[in-house]
Structure 1
Amino acid sequence: MQITVTDAASKWFQDEVGLKPGDGMKFYGKVYGKTPIHDGFSMAMVPDKEPDRPVGETEKDGIKYFVNYGDAWFFAGYDFVIDFDEKNDEPKYEYVAQEHDSRLK
């Protein structure tokens, strides 16, 4: 799983959440809600500096953004793009279906 964080999203997390270099943000699935890939579940996040067997991890501006092994089910088959919605002044999330190499079948 690949995680991409845009410059605008990184700025929002620093300005609004107060993240700074050395900090981290964990993303996970939770009961209730809806996303483009799940009914009955929504995506959540919490500041966390210590990934636990991450299945996806990236660093932007010195901040780790990650998904732990225990939450792999929520993102299975997708890469995760964290962007910024200027109109709503908040992050927006895109789940991009992973392309599979047909040679692996």
Structure 2
Amino acid sequence: MEIRLSEKALNWFKQEMEVEKGDFIRFYARYGGSSPFHEGFSLGVTREQPHEIGIESVVEDIHFYIEKSDEWFFNEHHLVVDVADSSDELTYSYEK
């Protein structure tokens, strides 16, 4: 499993969340909503220091990660993060 970010997504994080080199961005399973794999759970994103990194992708010295305890949510798929042209919001897809 890996985390893949488009250039647009990286720029979104820089502009909307004001991330800088050395920051940590966590993707996590949150209660509520739905996902392709788990009804009642959706993907959340926050800036916080890791406890136990399961998967990490470092882009321009910004750490994007998933905690080991949240790996189940991704059902052994890669997380692909992009930005929708129509809404300028993050989009998530999952690739085997």
* TM-score category of the 2 structures, normalised to the smaller one: over 0.9
Task: Tell me how far 1:37 sits from its aligned partner.
Answer: 1.9
User: How high is the TM-score relative to the length of structure 1?
Assistant: 0.85
Larger radius of gyration: 1
Question: Any unmatched runs of 5+ in structure 1?
Answer: 98-105
In the alignment, what sits opposite 2:56?
57
- Give the letter aligned to residue 60 of structure 1: V
Mark the runs of 5 or more structure 2 residues left unpaired by the alignment. Answer: none
**Taking structure 1 as reference, are residues 70 and 53 closer, same or farther at Cα in structure 2, changes over 3 Å only?**
same
Q: Normalization by structure 2: what TM-score?
A: 0.92
Provide the rounded CA distance (Å) in 2 between the counterparts of 1:5 and 1:80: 8
Alpha carbon RMSD of aligned pairs, Å? 1.1
Report the residue type matching 2:18 in the other structure. G
Q: The residue matched to 1:51 in structure 2 has which SS?
A: coil
Count, aligned residues: 96
Q: Deviations over 1:21-42 (max 9, x none)?
A: 1101001101111112221101
Q: For residue 24 of structure 1, what is the aligned residue in structure 2?
A: 24
- Would you say 1:33 and 2:33 are equivalent positions? yes
In the TM superposition, 1:1-105 aligns within 5 A as: 1-48=1-48, 50-97=49-96
For residues 70-104 of structure 1, what are the alpha-carbon distances to aligned partners after superposition, in whole Å with 9 as ceiling and x for unaligned? 1111113111111111211111101112xxxxxxx
Distance 1:4 1:55 in 2: 15
Tell me if structure 1 keeps the 8 A contact 2:26–2:67.
yes
Taking the aligned partners of 1:34 and 1:91, their CA distance within structure 2 comes to 16
Deviating beyond 2 angstroms after TM superposition, the runs of 4 or more aligned structure 1 residues are 50-53
Question: How many angstroms does 1:61 deviate by?
Answer: 2.0
